[in-house]
Amino acid sequence: MRRIVTISFTPLDAGGGVPKFNRDLHAAFPDRECVHFSWWDFPWAMEMDGMPEWEKARTLNHYLVQTRKVTRDDVVIADGFWAEGLEHLPLAVSHSHGIWGHVTKDDVDKGVKPENPVHHAVQIEFRRRWISQRKHITAVSDFIAEQMRLQWGFEVERVINNGVDTDVFTPYGRLLSTWFNDPLIIHGVNDRGNLNKGWDHIEFLKKKIPSCHILSLDEAHSLVEQREGASRTKAEVLALADIVVHPSGFEGNSMFVAEALACGVPVVGYDVGFLWSVRDREIGYVIPRTNRSPEATATAVQHVLNDALPEMGERCRELAVRSLSIERFRGEWRRYVEGIIDAA
C-alpha cells in the first residue's frame, strides 16, 4: 500500500499550524505508513541555515530522491514550494497553506508591496511551473484559492479546510467557571507587536472597552487555573470566552478561529481565511478587510456584546461541526488521495 509522505520546513512535533496539519493528515490514514521529512531532521541543516528557504526545499528534496527515501510510489503532500524538485513524482501534491507575501488582490490594486518580496516571488514562480506541468495543487481555504485565482490565474485542484476535534473543543467548558462577572474576550495575537496579526487592535480594544477582560488564551488559561485552583485544558478555557477576537490581516485558515467556533464562541475578525467563506453568517462579526482598523475591530466587538450571544454561539457550534470537524477533514483527504491514486 502506498505511503503518505509529508514534507515541510518544520518537524512533525513542532508548534504551529503546518506541523499540526501534518499530524492531522497522518492520523487520517491509520491503514497506511505515514512518514514526515523536514529540513531540521538532518544533521547538515544547521551548517546550511543561512541558505534561502526555497534552496533548502530544493536541497532536501534532491537528497530524498537520490537516497530513495521518497519514491514514485509515494503520495507526497508538501507545504507550498517544499514540493520543489518532485515534479517527476506522479502523486506529489503542493498544498497551499497561505500566500507568503500577505497581500490580497485589493492590496495589489492599491500598490501595496508584499512582505518578503523575494520569497513571495519565488512562491509564485514555483506555483506557475507546478501548475503548467499539470501537477496536483490544493489549498487550505476558499480564500487562498480565490486569491491565487484573482492574482495569478492559478486554479487549485481541491480546497480542504483544516479540521478541529469537536469532541475536545466544545461549548461545555462554559459551565466550569462563573467568576467572570464582566465579559471575557480572548484574542489570538500571541506575538506582541505583530501588526499583521493585529496587536495594535488589541491594545486599542483594551483602552476602548476597559470593562472587559481582554486576554490571550495563554493568559486566560493561567488566570483560570490560578483562581480556581484546578487544572483546566485550554479548550475548556476557550469555551469560557464571550467573544474571540482575531484581527489578523491575512490568514490561510486559522485553527484558533476554528477552535473558537467549535466551542460555540462568536468571533470578531476580518474576511480572510475561513471567515471569508462565512462572512454573511451571523457567527459574530466579520469585517471587510478593506475596512481593517483598530476602531473597526472595537466597534464590531461592542456590536456583538449587545447581540444575543447564546443564539449566536449555537450557530457557531453548528457551523464548526458541519464544516470544520476533524472527521470531515480526514474523510476529504482520504477521498482526495484515493482519487489521485486511481487517476494515476
pLDDT by position in tens, the chain (length 344): 899 999 999 999 998 899 999 999 999 999 999 999 999 988 888 888 889 999 999 999 999 999 999 999 999 999 999 999 999 999 999 999 998 788 999 999 999 999 889 999 999 999 999 999 999 999 999 999 999 999 999 999 999 999 999 999 999 765 555 556 788 999 989 878 787 889 999 999 999 998 899 999 999 999 888 887 778 899 999 999 999 999 998 889 999 999 999 999 999 999 999 999 999 889 999 999 999 999 999 999 999 988 877 788 999 999 999 999 999 999 999 999 999 999 98
142 CB neighbour count, 10 Å cutoff: 17
Q: What pLDDT score does 231 carry?
A: 87
Q: What pLDDT score does 216 carry?
A: 95
Identify which of 108, 116, 63 has the alpha carbon closest to the alpha carbon of residue 86. Answer: 63
Q: What is the 3-state secondary structure (H, E, C) of 215-237?
A: EEHHHHHHHHHHHHCCCCCHHHH
| Residue 153 DSSP one-character state | -
Q: What pLDDT score does 181 carry?
A: 74
Hey, what domains does the chain have and what are their CATH numbers?
4-163+325-343 (3.40.50.2000), 171-323 (3.40.50.2000)
Q: What pLDDT score does 101 carry?
A: 86
Q: What pLDDT score does 330 carry?
A: 98
- pTM metric for this prediction: 0.92
Q: What is the DSSP string of 154-181?
A: ---SEE----B-TTTS-GGGGGG-----
Q: Which three cell numbers stand for residue 112?
A: 501595496
Q: What pLDDT score does 244 carry?
A: 96
Q: What pLDDT score does 211 carry?
A: 87
